[in-house]
Chains A and B, each alone.
Chain A
């Protein structure tokens, strides 16, 4: 169900609705129109799309409480906390007066999927700026009610009061009346706030519910009052294979199974318990068509063969000529692995279908993307469909394109029951195959007689994404993206393609320094594209104790720098110990320094940043989905190793803000993992004297490198 303007006003009752839009400041949408999904601006050079022409809603109720709406979701990044903090401080209200409604297509505007580290930056800070306008408007309205000049009134603690006479007081609930459009807010335009946001370090708003097990995730809805559904997990990559035969009678004969049928390219089973539908799937015994064997990822020449130039990412100067004429040249190839998001909560949905009216509750990062998919799957109009996003038990990108909502809706309609679809762990990893894509990166750099980087070419071979990495000041650059059929298709995964590109560029930069006989830290420091990286690198060197000796013979320190999402900058340092006999790597310390603008809540941001750095550790050392052609061999946590307690080093982090004048949050959910991967790889090189060009740095790979050194 999409909320149109009329329904929305009916929902209001006797509240005031403050509507505001994020977008270009010269294109204020008329308030009388229903909010429409945003036409997207072209991708920016940093890969984040801004949505324009949509409207956020902030309601002020008669009792002085407020409700804010956003189509973004809570997935552990702390958005509910951040919005509660921002709105309660922005309107000077007690936190319990602020309600935040997230990701319900029946109640919220479509302000984009929760991805790209953008929710706090765009929605959160948009609300801060909106609160300022709402305060001004309330003062104006109070002035009209009281018949005094607005200048004689001030906004204070949820009321408009006389500046000189505090006995004059109008609580905001009494000023509530009608709908007000307070204008358009462009998150890209720097803006000076008249008030200062102060991080008070409040606990996560869901903390009590989380620690008591009472936070309701999708799978916790309607316990004992749903049928379970299951989808047959494809044997091969799901886009390249389909079910050719299934034994539906055998599945239906399985105890507890209520319904079984084909479902698009795959097949489904509905039954009374989770286990009965898993058994039903076994009885279904689907046979899959066998796709043509793809190129071999580990044979780089095969990957390059027949690749098509998809995009010139960057073109500047004459890198070919400059490379040929440079004092020192170095050309290398780097290769990264397939990795999977592996949230602990598998993709989950609950669906109820009554004719053309459909309600789906789901663990999704993009509730508004699910609605047209449900409409298409069921062949019904989208306006009868409501998607309610529940707290997401980990998304990391995989739940942007989840198909569980539409699959579940199909099951509910086919079986005539309320169905809960909970993906098995193997289905989560094998069946979806929306992996972080493997990338082959050919990189060549040239340095002049003074040790300055003068030219670089970077050719990336991958399925889809792109990586631009402008961390160093290089006058002659060519970055090209080649598309080539890969063994698996890519999906969204935390850090997207920045991780792979940063690993290649930062490993290469280190190697270039070594070729020049320069210290890798100093070489980086003297070639930076953005001066703001300097203090970040210095903080990392200081924190990790760089230059105090102890390197070599199995111990090493490495650095990495990156940018992400526009103006987020990050640097990381790692100290590792390598067992030269076994090839096992222990990360002993991680230090990160990040320039992410204003911190809204130090508790949620610290949890996110440290966790992201540990993602860097996992990607560098062991995370890998193994494929046999198009067939994923990795099936669960038994053979997909993610970071665990015993992997955790000492981690220290610092936030540096170089834009103190106009502080605003810039996002940080993905940034910290990106340079951490490269820092670990560079530390391993310092420890062993061997450059590793292929991730992950498994003991076998390290031993191999040590033998060949």
Chain B
């Protein structure tokens, strides 16, 4: 374990400074220092996807990203950066409309992962949705509705079997 030092992070479009050991996982820095608790701890081993965040538009498991491995220019986006109560993103609204969750604990990670997919592939097929989402686990198994929600945002191109 290294000695704590300060790091400059850009999170949800805002410059922030945090103090942490350089090998401290981004997950705990987001949750405990920046109080962004939408990013969840599920396993700490990169197996479940509940802690998914975007770094420069790509999905990362924040439990596996050491804060010291980030560059000052990296754009980190958490679930809180995608929409807020009363101002939901299209994807968030689609999750609401399809009841694409049970307990909701994995949902932020699901939405962040789907957001990344839709940014790189705006009109994914269903197969592409399943492939992109497959490493995110939902124990309530709300998978069918999650696929429906993403497919709706993806538009008509995704209605085929791919």
Contacts and interface: CB of A to CB of B under 8 A. Distances in A.
A529 interface: no
B84 A212 contact: yes
A642 interface: yes
B99 A606 contact: yes
Nearest to B2: A255
Contacts of A275: 24-25, 28
A642 B137 contact: yes
A607 B137 contact: no
Interface in A621-658: 636-638, 642-646, 648, 651
A531 to B, nearest CB: 31
B79 interface: yes
B14 interface: no
Contacts of B133: 645
A610 B145 CA distance: 9
B16 interface: no
A204 B102 CA distance: 9
B141 A614 contact: yes
A448 interface: no
Given A279-B1, A645-B130, A344 B143 contact: no
A273 B24 contact: yes
A215 interface: yes
B80 A615 contact: no
A210 B145 CA distance: 15
Contact of A212 (B79, B103, B131, B140): B79
Interface string B89-122: 0001101110111111111100100000000000
Interface residues of B, number: 64
Nearest to B131: A646
B102 A394 contact: yes
A203 B96 CA distance: 7
B159 interface: no
B51 to A, nearest CB: 10
A224 B139 contact: no
A176 to B, nearest CB: 30
B88 A208 contact: yes
Contacts of B44: 274, 424-425
A330 B118 CA distance: 56
Contacts of A198: none
A224 B34 CA distance: 8
B151 interface: no
Contact of B141 (A75, A203, A214, A610): A610
A492 interface: no
Contacts of A208: 85-86, 88, 96
A203 B95 CA distance: 10
A344 B40 contact: yes
A608 B143 contact: no
Contact of B85 (A212, A274, A643, A651): A212
Interface string A185-221: 0000000000000000001101111111111110110
Chain A, interface residues (CB within 8 Å), range: 35 or more
B154 interface: no
Interface string A599-613: 000011011101110
A345 B103 contact: yes
Given A76-B104, A208-B88, A344-B48, A644 B37 contact: no
Contact of A393 (B33, B35, B40, B137): B40
Interface centre among B102, B108, B130, B134 (most CB of A within 10 A): B102
B45 A636 contact: yes
Contact of B41 (A203, A212, A219, A614): A219
A595 to B, nearest CB: 22
A75 B78 CA distance: 24
Given A76-B104, A208-B96, A344-B137, A607 B142 contact: yes
B5 to A, nearest CB: 14
Contacts of A345: 40, 42, 103, 105
A308 B57 CA distance: 61
Interface string A362-397: 000000000000000000000000000001111010
A607 B145 contact: yes
Interface string A580-621: 000000000000000000000001101110111011001000
Contact of A391 (B38, B42, B104): B104
B106 to A, nearest CB: 5
B83 interface: yes
B140 A607 contact: yes
A80 B82 CA distance: 26
A422 interface: yes
Interface in A265-308: 273-275, 279
Contacts of A646: 130-131, 134
Contacts of A75: 103
B104 A212 contact: no
A214 B97 contact: no
Given A607-B140, A643-B141, A213 B103 contact: no
A207 B86 CA distance: 11
B143 A637 contact: no
B144 A425 contact: no
A217 B41 CA distance: 11
B30 to A, nearest CB: 9
Contacts of B146: 645
A391 B40 CA distance: 14
21 contacts: A76-B102, A203-B96, A207-B95, A208-B88, A208-B96, A209-B85, A212-B80, A213-B79, A343-B103, A343-B139, A344-B48, A344-B139, A346-B42, A391-B103, A607-B140, A611-B102, A615-B141, A637-B47, A644-B134, A648-B143, A648-B144
3 closest Cβ pairs, A-B complex: A213-B38, A76-B103, A393-B105
Given A213-B38, A610-B145, 18 more contacts: A210-B101, A211-B95, A212-B38, A212-B79, A212-B84, A213-B107, A223-B35, A224-B35, A275-B24, A342-B139, A393-B105, A604-B99, A614-B141, A636-B45, A642-B137, A645-B133, A645-B146, A646-B130
